[in-house]
Amino acid sequence: MKNQTIKHYLLSTIIISWSFWLLASALTHFGNLPFSNPLIMILFILGGISPAFNELYLKKKTSSPEDYRAFKKNIVTIKQPISAYLLVFGMAWLYCFLPTLLGGSVQKVPISIALLELPIMIIGGGIEEIGWRGFLQPMLQKKYSILTSAVIVSMIWTFWHIPLWWINGSNQSSMSLVWFTLTCFSLSLLLSFIWNKYESIYLCVLFHAAINSFWDVYVSNNKILPALLLLSFCGIFFIFTDKQTSKNPKQIDAV
């Protein structure tokens, strides 16, 4: 059985995702296609789901059948403690709501919209966690601390998104890169907490999807100070919970 390496996963994922997104960028710039064009949307989605499907492909290629089945089961195991669901949705709501108190966002639509959008946001973001937290986080934790691993993932996660700023009409094209970087950092702290507490890819996917859904309710204005304050809150939360999770760290074999 071959070992799946971080370098191989990241290189192949970036090549696949960026190929779709750079083509979309070229078509919006030189082909004058709007972001709403079906072809652009297909390319956008294909790039976004690449971290998940690339990991599934590599996992199947490099793991035993038993390990691969266990990995897939982890992604779809919806039988979780009620407390886990309450924590995941509570954290996601609080993360998106807090900036409204800090001048960083405004509620634009009823909160029920987030629940309606949740299934869509599993594809529109959540599914990425199959690669980021399902593979990358636990692999890094074999060598680094939980915090260091979360920081590395946040940097890679931010870098992976870069081509979206070049696609005319995308959300990122009018978004502050500094704000987005701070957001990736704070969310990586929360996602690493969820991963190490529950060892559940499914819950990480659900949290990511919930964040994207609540963001359509509490719309950010990309201000840096509220993002910094939110990062500070997440850092304090992480430091407090890390003392608990690091006493008895649990990891799923990711190779």
Question: Average of pLDDT values for 6-11?
Answer: 96
**Cα–Cα distances in angstroms (integers) from residue 145 to residues 2, 203, 230, 231, in the given order:** 25, 21, 22, 19
Alpha carbon 103 to chain centroid distance? 24
Residue 186 has pLDDT above 80, yes or no: yes
Question: Average of pLDDT values for 118-138?
Answer: 96
Give the pLDDT confidence score for residue 252 in this predicted structure. Answer: 38
> What's the predicted TM-score (pTM) here?
0.93
The confidence band for 64, taking pLDDT boundaries of 50, 70 and 90, is: very high
- For residues 92 and 121, the answer to whether their CB atoms sit within 8 Å is no
